[in-house]
Structure 1
Amino acid sequence: MIVRIMGEGQVRLDDSHFAELNALDDELLAEMESGDEEGFRRTLGALLDAVRRLGTALPDDALEPSELILPSPGASLEEVREMLGDEGLIPG
């Protein structure tokens, strides 16, 4: 699966990592719903770190279709809410 981190680039991830990323996404969604800004920051950072750690960065000039698009590390809780609506970042 190809994941784009806005403002950073694309990462290729093996589908076997889906469960770990989905767990972080569920946590992030709960923090967004409760308005927990500190928890949101922490979990968004953990999600982005997991993608970077588990995946392989594609070259800057590569342009693959992204199956997932994640917000930049500096995105606010409100910006991510607008981006998602009622769904998480990772399709269930």
Structure 2
Amino acid sequence: MSDGLIVRILGEGQYDVAATALDRLNELDAAVESAVAAGDEESFRPALLALLDGVRTVGVPHAADALDESDLILPHGESSLDEVRDLLADDGLIPG
């Protein structure tokens, strides 16, 4: 996908996400990152689920038979705060 990214949600599959949708996803990612940084379990889960729903909403399922590498890998919705903390890069789950 030349004008976007392939995003994998662990345990679910890949989605093609247009570059134009990344600003919105970065906003959702910032809420996850903030909750993780604060150790705020109460706001962590809704923020993670909102990010995953955002990918599902703006993305389209990537062809299941395609062997394309994911540009980004997001945790599944049942991931713990500690698991997500381990996945976070300096730029969050979605760099940018």
TM bucket (normalised to shorter chain) is over 0.9
| Alignment of 1:24 onto 2:53 | no
Superposition misfits of 4+ residues, deviation over 3 angstroms: none
Counterpart residue number, 2:84: 80
Q: Deviations over 1:9-28 (max 9, x none)?
A: 10001100000000111111
How far has the Cα of 1:90 moved from its partner? Answer: 0.7
Could you tell me the percent identity over the aligned residues?
50
RMSD: 1.2
Alignment partner of 2:70 out of 47, 66, 81: 66
- Decide whether aligned partners of structure 1 residues 85 and 58 sit closer, same or farther in structure 2, where only a CA change above 3 A counts: closer
Distance (Å, rounded) in 1 between the aligned partners of 2:30 and 2:93: 9
The counterpart of 1:34, out of the listed 29, 35, 38, is 38
Give the aligned partner of residue 17 of structure 2: 13
Contact 2:15/2:62 (<8 A) preserved: yes
How far apart are residue 59 of structure 1 and its match? 3.0
2:23 is paired with a residue whose SS is helix
* Deviation string, structure 1 residues 25-50 (Cα, Å, up to 9, x no partner): 11111110111112110010000001
TM-score by length of 1: 0.92
Deviation at 1:62, TM superposition (A): 2.2
Residue 48 in structure 1 maps to residue 52 in structure 2: yes
- Give the aligned length: 92
TM-score, with structure 2 as normaliser: 0.89
Distance 1:77 1:9 in 2: 21
What are the ranges of 5 or more consecutive residues in structure 1 without an aligned counterpart?
A: none
1:85 is displaced (CA, Å) by 5.0
Counterpart amino acid of residue 72 in structure 1: H
